[in-house]
Amino acid sequence: MAEFLAPALQGADIVDTVEANGLTLAYEQFGRTRDPALVLIVGLGMQLRAWPDAFCRALADTGLRVIRFDNRDIGLSTQIKTARRYPSPFKAFMRGVAKRPIGAPYQIEDMADDAVALMDALEITAAHLVGVSMGGMIAQVVAAREPERVKTLTSIMSTSGHPKLPRSRLRILLRLARAPKSRDAEDVAAHMARTMRLIGSRDPRLARSEEDWYSECLKNAERSYAPAGTHRQMLAVLSARSRRDLLSDIRQPALVIHGRDDPLLPVAHGRDTAAWLPNVHYEEVDGLGHDLPPRLLPRYVGWIRDLIDGELVMHRGEALERKAG
């Protein structure tokens, strides 16, 4: 593996934008363009830097062209301009519970089209996809609708979207809907750090301090702050339909990782996602919340590389217990 070892650099090898699906998408690349592509898809309100440099570099060191990007409406990618007023996250949640239309400005499927268009713009015929949270939902849709474009699928702390799965605690949903006291980067960072402490890992072996979260969130807030975009992304998530049927159509090797102590998407969401995939390896991590703890990232790199190399023990999803109806 020595030929793939890279120097300990800060940041990516390539930082650029492309026109894709009528949008400008900001992306960063680690590794060599000629290597097999791996596309990292972030979650709700997350910027591409949610995938740590060290994680991306470690994957690139295994011989992969690693690409992380800002989804639409966040970071340095196009933010949708509209004068329309949309329901608050709480009202949208209650509409979803009542099975009423939410009226989202776009759907998860549209964001999946963005990911495919990004691959087209970068001349990537097929890629390994890794999605976290909402990014896992997006990756699932791409793998099901564009099977020839996806070599493997990794879904981290995500969901099948089935309505019978347990919901997050109300206080967490209300916290996600709250705004910082001002748009100053320091206030935004402090607000987001408290949110991440609430939904992230609490196990002392994995937990990050609020000061650590503040430092990371401040860098993000100084790069971009797009609360309206996060709101619109949340509406897309809340209006998403169950993907169980889509998951059952995915034939590519898949890896599902979920935390046993995830307060935002309880562990039943990870189990259900794995249960509907025909060719899956499932990893359930004790003490893990809804975050990417630095101490676990080397393990994630190993699992993803093993998935790509065909070294994980795979199962038929239906062999796993399906707990929701």
261: CATH: 3.40.50.1820
The answer, yes or no, to whether residue 318 has pLDDT greater than 90, is no
Segment among 7-11, 32-36, 134-138 with least mean pLDDT: 7-11
Instruction: Judge whether 202 lies within some domain.
Output: no
Instruction: Judge whether 201 lies within some domain.
Output: no
Tens-place pLDDT, residues 170-197: 788 778 878 899 999 999 999 999 999 9
pLDDT of residue 100: 79
Average pLDDT estimate for 234-256:
96
Q: Which of 304 and 82 is assigned the larger pLDDT?
A: 304
CA distance 49 to 286: 25
The answer, yes or no, to whether residue 97 has pLDDT greater than 80, is no
Q: Are strands 150-156 and 65-69 parallel, antiparallel or unpaired?
A: unpaired
- The band of 320, judged by pLDDT with boundaries at 50, 70 and 90, is low
Instruction: Judge whether 63 lies within some domain.
Output: yes
Average pLDDT of the chain is 92
H helix or E strand, kind and range, residue 118: helix 108-121
pLDDT of residue 263: 95
Cβ atoms of 197 and 169 closer than 8 Å = no
pLDDT of residue 60: 97
Instruction: Judge whether 191 lies within some domain.
Output: no
CA distance 111 to 282: 25
Instruction: Judge whether 155 lies within some domain.
Output: yes
The answer, yes or no, to whether residue 321 has pLDDT greater than 70, is no
Segment among 27-41, 115-129, 159-173, 272-286 with least mean pLDDT: 159-173
Residues spanned by the domain of 309: 2-166+227-319
Tens-place pLDDT, residues 302-317: 999 999 999 999 998 7
How many domains are contained in the chain?
1
Instruction: Judge whether 218 lies within some domain.
Output: no
Average pLDDT estimate for 78-86:
84
Residue type, 306: D
The answer, yes or no, to whether residue 77 has pLDDT greater than 90, is yes
The answer, yes or no, to whether residue 46 has pLDDT greater than 60, is yes
Number of neighbouring beta carbons within 10 Å of residue 13: 17
Cβ atoms of 13 and 42 closer than 8 Å = no
pTM of the model: 0.93
Q: Are strands 65-69 and 127-132 parallel, antiparallel or unpaired?
A: unpaired
pLDDT of residue 278: 96
Q: What percentage of the chain carries pLDDT values higher than 70?
A: 93
Tens-place pLDDT, residues 106-142: 999 999 999 999 999 999 999 999 999 999 999 999 9
Instruction: Judge whether 85 lies within some domain.
Output: yes
Instruction: Judge whether 99 lies within some domain.
Output: yes
The answer, yes or no, to whether residue 87 has pLDDT greater than 90, is no
The answer, yes or no, to whether residue 1 has pLDDT greater than 50, is no
Cβ atoms of 143 and 166 closer than 8 Å = no
Residue type, 77: S
pLDDT of residue 306: 98
For residue 323, CA distances in Å to 160, 241, 249, 256, 275 come to: 13, 18, 20, 16, 9
pLDDT of residue 104: 86
Closest CA to 51 of 131, 169, 121, 117: 131
pLDDT of residue 322: 56
pLDDT of residue 13: 94
Segment among 84-93, 103-112, 116-125, 163-172 with least mean pLDDT: 84-93
pLDDT of residue 163: 92
And the tokens for 252? 């590519």
Q: Which of 178 and 262 is assigned the larger pLDDT?
A: 262
For residue 260, CA distances in Å to 50, 58, 95, 272, 291 come to: 21, 25, 28, 13, 12
